[in-house]
Amino acid sequence: AQTVTQSQPEMSVQEAETVTLSCTYDTSENNYYLFWYKQPPSRQMILVIRQEAYKQQNATENRFSVNFQKAAKSFSLKISDSQLGDTAMYFCAFMKHALFASGTYKYIFGTGTRLKVLA
């Protein structure tokens, strides 16, 4: 079964500094997709960044970038120049074909890392 592990329940970082959140996953598939979602105190989940497993180049979105190591099954998120608004719960997610319905993709989420940005 596929699993997603986030080993850091909580982290903190000073404003303007850089922080890296770790994520590992387990799968036997070759083609899949990885995501980082942000859940601020408002609770609404927001997509931060997405990575296709077949792409070797690491995805970047402004201050957010990933370090995707396919062989190691690792997918870490780096936040540069951290801002107070980055304070949130961050979820790593893996997407695959669902076994229960042909053609449908579903997420498998990790347990989350709570990030606090300190002023």
Name the amino acid, one letter, at 77: L
User: Interacting stretch for other proteins, rule CB under 8 A, among 21-29, 68-76, 80-88, 104-112?
Assistant: 104-112
Is position 84 an interface residue for other proteins (rule: CB under 8 A)? no
User: Interacting stretch for other proteins, rule CB under 8 A, among 14-22, 58-66, 80-88, 106-114?
Assistant: 106-114
Cα–Cα dist 17/80, whole Å: 6
Q: Give the residue, chosen from 24, 50, 58, 87, that forms a contact with other proteins under the rule CB under 8 A.
A: 50
Is position 71 an interface residue for other proteins (rule: CB under 8 A)? no
- CA angle 57-34-21, nearest 5°? 85
Residues 105 and 44: beta-carbon distance below 8 Å: no
